[in-house]
Amino acid sequence: MSNKVIYAIYNDDDVLMDAVKKTRAAHYHIEEVFSPFPVHGLDKAMGLAPTRLAICAFLYGLCGISFGTFLMNYVMIQDWPQDIGGKPSFSYIENMPSFVPIMFEETVFFAAHLMVITFYMRSKLWPFKQAENPDVRTTDDHFLMEVAVNDNESELVSFFENTGAVEVKVIEKH
Partner 1 sequence: MYTFSSKLKTFSFILMAVGLLGIGYGFYTAPKDIKEVEQLLAAENHGGHGAIKHEVSVANESHVVGEDSKVAKVSEEAEHSEHLNHVLHQLQNKPWAALYVACIFFLLISMGTLAFYAIQQVAQAGWSPVLFRVMQGITSYLPVASILFFILLVLSGLHFNHLFVWMSEGVTDPKSANFDEIIAGKSGYLNFPFWIVRAAIFLLGWNLYRYYSRKNCLAQDEADDNLNYKKNFKISAAFLVFFIVSESIMSWDWIMSIDPHWFSTLFGWYVFASFFVSGITMIAMVTLYLKSKGYLEYVNTSHIHDLAKFMFGISVFWTYLWFSQFMLIWYADIPEEITYFVTRIQVYNLPFFGAVAMNFLFPLLILINTDFKRITWVVVMAGIVILLGHYVDFFNMIMPGTVGDQWFIGVSEIASVLFFAGLFIFVVFTTLTKAPLLAKRNPFIEESKHFHY
> Judged by CB under 8 A, which stretch of 96-104, 114-122, 143-151, 160-168 contacts partner 1?
96-104
* β-pair partners for 167: 9
Query: 100-114 burial, b if ≥16 CB within 10 A, otherwise e?
Result: eeebeebbeebbeeb
Contacts of residue 121, defined as CB under 8 A and 6 or more positions apart, other chains included, come to none
Q: Are 24 and 47 in contact (CB under 8 A)?
A: yes
Measured CA to CA, the distance from residue 120 to residue 57 in angstroms comes to 14
Contact stretch for partner 1 (CB under 8 A) within 6-14, 20-28, 93-101, 136-144: 93-101
Among 97, 129, 172, 174, binds partner 1 (CB under 8 A): 97
Which position among 86, 136, 140, 151 is part of the footprint of partner 1 (CB under 8 A)? 86
Cβ-based nearer residue to partner 1, 29 or 44: 44
What does the alpha-carbon distance between residue 118 and residue 26 come to, in Å, rounded to a whole number? 35
**Residue 58 is a binding residue for partner 1 (CB under 8 A):** yes
With 0-12 CB in 10 A as exposed, 13-18 as middle and 19+ as buried, what is 56?
middle
CA distances from 94 to 78, 117, 154 (A): 13, 36, 76
Which is nearer to partner 1, 47 or 97 (by Cβ)?
Answer: 97
Binding of partner 1 by 51 (CB under 8 A):
no
Residue of 61, 141, 138, 71 lying closest to 99 (CA atoms) = 71
- Binding partner 1 by CB under 8 A: which of 98, 150, 152, 162? 98
Which C-beta is closer to partner 1: that of 38 or that of 97?
Answer: 97
Identify which of residues 78 and 98 has a Cβ nearer to partner 1 in the complex: 98
| Shortest separation between residue 82's beta carbon and partner 1, angstroms | 17
Closest distance of CB 118 from partner 1, Å: 18
Q: Would you tell me which residues interact with partner 1 (CB under 8 A)? A: 54, 58, 86, 97-98, 100
